[in-house]
């Protein structure tokens, strides 16, 4: 990120940061699917990622990634982490569940879809805020919640890389947030979302970019201000790339795919961030950073295997990188954060 060094958040003044991304609309000749059942092996969906659910046994769900088998059940620690992350998003957004102008698409009787809903907390709160909208929330892993759910919300288990189990043009609003480590082929995802979206319906896709930097600080000052963070973030970006994910899906790829589909109008992007600690003078960003800090301190542990595997980093070197990153949490001037981009538009 570049720009003046300021404590003003990117997110609380959306009018300043919504950028019009209209340029170069055009058809790309992509295949249209008549129904989700077209999305089977051997069909045009072979272009989908190999990251896919392969079996279910005793409610335990597995996915394959690069030939390795992972449990796709979100465990308790992961669920807590996701709930914390949700609170950080809300704090950054001045206690709102969205920055984009969603209201006109969430009219009484509208149908809305949240893809990769995690714990389901965002969908639950949206279903409460918009009780006349019918909400469906999907995830690769089964969503397990003990509390009473709003009557207007239903969960479904689905791997988006295998297509969505809904007919064409069935939703007025489709949302996804932080799928970046679950999706390699963003074109297939954008095409699939546009397939299930009704003409006039809104698509809103929120993702993070790599590397993580210092929002509002010119990039040439990042290393001077937060050398340890920059080093850690460089390794994280390398791991993301080496595993075949797109480090710029958030800032570039998604908006570009919306444009090249020729099916989305008024494409816009809001730039925001998740501060890793409470460095900001803006009260919303400061609170977000304070909520994020414990999670931020644990990030080197949670991505350790990913970085060590993908970048072949020995244990002693990893410990040095971790110590450097942790030293920048709380260091004056080290305004470290995860860059977030909200991409949205309306289907023509
Ligand atoms: C970082 S979490 C974000 C959860 C939620 N969207 C939020 O912002 O709180 C990513 C979620 O995407 C889900 N996910 C990953 N790959 C997926 C796929 N191929 N299809 C559906 N969900 C997927 C994961 O199970 C996880 O719950």
How confident is the model over 152-156, as a mean pLDDT? Answer: 97
Mutation pick for ligand 1 pocket among 71, 74, 83, 116 (CB with most ligand atoms within 8 Å): 116
Distance 79 CA to ligand 1 centre (A): 11
> How many CB atoms sit inside 10 A of residue 23's CB?
9
Q: What is the pLDDT of residues 33-54, one digit of tens each?
A: 222 332 322 222 222 221 222 2
Atom 16 of ligand 1, nearest CA residue: 182
Q: Which of 101, 103, 139 is nearest to 121 (CA)?
A: 139
Q: Kindly compute the dihedral angle of the four CA atoms of residues 278, 284, 285, 288, in this order, to the nearest 10 degrees.
A: 60
115 within 8 A of 203, measured Cβ to Cβ = no
Min mean pLDDT across 9-18, 167-176, 196-205, 233-242 is at 9-18
Mutation pick for ligand 1 pocket among 121, 182, 240 (CB with most ligand atoms within 8 Å): 182
How confident is the model over 247-273, as a mean pLDDT? Answer: 98
pLDDT of residue 144: 77
Confidence bin at 56 (pLDDT 50/70/90): very low
Of 32 and 334, the one with more pLDDT? 334
Q: What is the pLDDT of residues 202-245, one digit of tens each?
A: 999 999 999 999 999 999 999 999 999 999 999 999 999 999 99
Atom 4 of ligand 1, nearest CA residue: 118
Of 50 and 89, the one with more pLDDT? 89
Confidence bin at 74 (pLDDT 50/70/90): low
Q: Is the CB of 140 under 6 A from ligand 1?
A: yes
How confident is the model over 251-266, as a mean pLDDT? Answer: 98
Distance 190 CA to ligand 1 centre (A): 15
How confident is the model over 77-99, as a mean pLDDT? Answer: 95
- Residue whose tokens read 């699939």: 192
Residue 184 tokens read as: 């390699």
Distance 122 CA to ligand 1 centre (A): 12
Distance 118 CA to ligand 1 centre (A): 5
DSSP string, 251-294: IIIHHHHHHHHT-EEEEEEEEEEEESSS--SSHHHHHHHHHHHH
Q: Is the CB of 122 under 6 A from ligand 1?
A: yes
Q: Is the CB of 118 under 6 A from ligand 1?
A: yes
Q: Is the CB of 177 under 6 A from ligand 1?
A: yes
pLDDT of residue 16: 22
Per the prediction, the chain carries an average pLDDT of: 82
Confidence bin at 77 (pLDDT 50/70/90): confident
Q: What is the pLDDT of residues 184-199, one digit of tens each?
A: 999 999 999 999 999 9
Flag whether pLDDT at 298 surpasses 60: yes
Flag whether pLDDT at 2 surpasses 60: no
Min mean pLDDT across 67-71, 141-145, 171-175 is at 67-71
Task: State the closest ligand 1 atom to the C-alpha of 86, by its place in the atom list counted from 1.
Answer: 9
Mutation pick for ligand 1 pocket among 118, 206, 208, 243 (CB with most ligand atoms within 8 Å): 118
Residues above pLDDT 90, as percent of the chain: 75
Confidence bin at 75 (pLDDT 50/70/90): confident
pLDDT of residue 147: 73
The span from the CA of 51 to the CA of 33, in Å, is 21
Distance 217 CA to ligand 1 centre (A): 30
- Type and span of the H or E element at 337: strand 337-347
Q: What is the pLDDT of residues 103-134, one digit of tens each?
A: 999 999 999 999 999 999 999 999 999 999 99
Sheet holding 60-65, edge to edge: 52-57, 60-65, 68-71
**All domains in the chain, ordered by first residue:** 28-347 (3.40.50.150)
Q: Is the CB of 82 under 6 A from ligand 1?
A: yes
Q: Is the CB of 160 under 6 A from ligand 1?
A: yes
- Residue whose tokens read 């990117």: 10
Q: Is the CB of 159 under 6 A from ligand 1?
A: yes
């Amino acid at each position: 990120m570049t720009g003046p060094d300021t404590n003003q958040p990117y997110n609380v003044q959306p009018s300043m940061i919504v950028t019009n991304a209209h340029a170069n609309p055009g058809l790309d000749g992509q295949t249209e699917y008549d129904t989700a059942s077209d999305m089977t092996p051997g069909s045009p969906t072979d272009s989908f990622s190999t990251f896919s659910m392969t079996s279910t046994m005793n409610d335990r769900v597995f996915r394959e990634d690069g030939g390795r088998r992972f449990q796709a059940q979100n465990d308790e620690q992961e669920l807590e982490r996701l709930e914390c992350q949700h609170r950080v998003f809300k704090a950054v957004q001045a206690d709102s569940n969205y920055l984009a102008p969603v209201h006109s698409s969430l009219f009484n009787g509208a149908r809305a879809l949240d893809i990769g809903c995690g714990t389901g907390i965002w969908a639950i709160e949206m279903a409460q805020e918009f009780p006349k909208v019918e909400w469906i929330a999907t995830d690769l892993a089964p969503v397990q919640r003990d509390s009473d759910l709003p009557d207007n919300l239903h969960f479904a288990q689905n791997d988006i890389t295998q297509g969505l189990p809904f007919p064409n043009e069935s939703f007025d609003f489709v949302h996804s947030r932080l799928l970046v480590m679950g999706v390699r082929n963003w074109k297939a995802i954008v095409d699939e979302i546009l397939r299930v979206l009704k003409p006039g319906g809104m698509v809103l896709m929120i993702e993070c970019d790599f590397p993580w930097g210092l929002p509002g600080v010119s990039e040439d000052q990042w290393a001077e201000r937060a050398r340890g963070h920059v080093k850690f973030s460089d390794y994280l970006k390398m791991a993301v790339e080496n595993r075949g994910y797109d480090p710029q899906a958030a800032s570039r790829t998604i908006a570009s795919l919306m444009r090249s589909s020729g099916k989305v109008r008024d494409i816009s992007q809001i730039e925001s961030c998740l501060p890793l600690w409470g460095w900001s003078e803006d009260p919303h960003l400061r609170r977000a950073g304070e909520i994020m800090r414990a999670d931020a301190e644990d990030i080197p542990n949670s991505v350790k295997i990913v970085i060590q595997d993908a970048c072949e980093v020995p244990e002693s070197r990893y410990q040095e990188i971790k110590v450097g990153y942790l030293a920048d949490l709380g260091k004056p001037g080290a305004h470290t954060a995860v860059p977030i981009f909200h991409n949205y538009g309306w289907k023509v």
